[in-house]
């Protein structure tokens, strides 16, 4: 197997994290997501609350503050730099799956990394965030649109790439149309270069 690392970039509610976990079990790879960022950043001395506030789901106001303070290196930028270093170290060790955190962009030039984008239609995601993630049942669509907007803005700010552009990935899959388990199998097959 040529690919020692998988990155999964995903729309909120599309099941990208679940797919990552299932892949990790099948391949014997470690899976890193929000919990990893938390641990890594705690070690670097930044507080968890700050990550929640300024991390991937930072709101627009915070993103504006990123921009204004960028020249001097804002704490948000320091957080991103800490994440980037941690992700690069993890990729060097290999045998891991990294969900979110602009890992696709950070590792874009490595030949041993397989990049995946997971998306799904609104109905599928709305049903999923209520029944699987236990989110409140009122206006799940509004919550998803809000999250999408924040992820796009964060991704755009730190990568200057377009969120959801197929050309950044080996495979992009609609988990709502294909099914979560089917996506896992397709990624396994896709990254198998012995076929």
List interacting residues with its own copies (CB under 8 A): 11, 117, 119, 162, 164-167, 169-174, 177-178, 182, 185-186, 189-190, 195
What's the CA dihedral at 97, 101, 104, 107 to 10 degrees? Answer: -80
- Of the pair 53, 185, the CB lying nearest its own copies is at 185
Quote the least distance from Cβ 2 to its own copies, whole Å.
10
Q: How far apart are CA 168 and CA 155, in angstroms?
A: 13
Q: What tokens appear for 27 in the block?
A: 């391949």
Q: Which residues pair with residue 182 across a beta bridge?
A: none
In whole angstroms, give the CA distance from residue 124 to residue 10.
14
Q: Which is nearer to its own copies, 130 or 186 (CB)?
A: 186
**132 within 8 A of 14, measured Cβ to Cβ:** no
| CA angle, residues 101, 154, 39, in degrees to nearest 5 | 35
Min separation Cβ 179 and its own copies, Å: 8
Q: Smallest distance, Å, CB 41 to its own copies?
A: 29
Measured from the CB atom, the residue of 130 and 171 that comes closer to its own copies is: 171
Closest contact distance (angstroms) between CB of 7 and its own copies is 13
31 vs 173, beta carbon nearer its own copies: 173
């Amino acid at each position: 197997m040529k690919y020692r690392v998988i990155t999964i970039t995903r729309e909120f509610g599309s099941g990208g994290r679940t797919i990552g976990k299932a892949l990790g079990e099948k391949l014997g790879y470690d899976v890193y997501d929000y919990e990893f960022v938390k641990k890594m950043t705690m070690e670097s001395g930044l507080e968890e609350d700050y990550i929640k506030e300024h991390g991937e789901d930072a709101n627009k106001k915070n993103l504006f503050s990123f921009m204004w303070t960028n020249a001097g290196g804002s704490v948000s930028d320091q957080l991103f730099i800490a994440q980037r270093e941690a992700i690069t170290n993890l990729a060097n060790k290999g045998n891991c799956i990294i969900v979110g955190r602009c890992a696709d962009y950070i590792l874009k030039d490595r030949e041993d990394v397989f990049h995946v984008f997971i998306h799904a239609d609104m109905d599928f995601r709305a049903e999923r965030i209520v029944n699987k993630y236990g989110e409140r049942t009122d206006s799940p669509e509004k919550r998803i649109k809000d999250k999408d907007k924040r992820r796009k803005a964060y991704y755009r700010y730190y990568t200057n790439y377009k969120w959801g552009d197929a050309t950044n990935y080996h495979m992009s899959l609609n988990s709502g149309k294909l099914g979560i388990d089917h996506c896992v199998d397709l990624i396994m097959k896709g990254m198998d270069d012995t076929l």
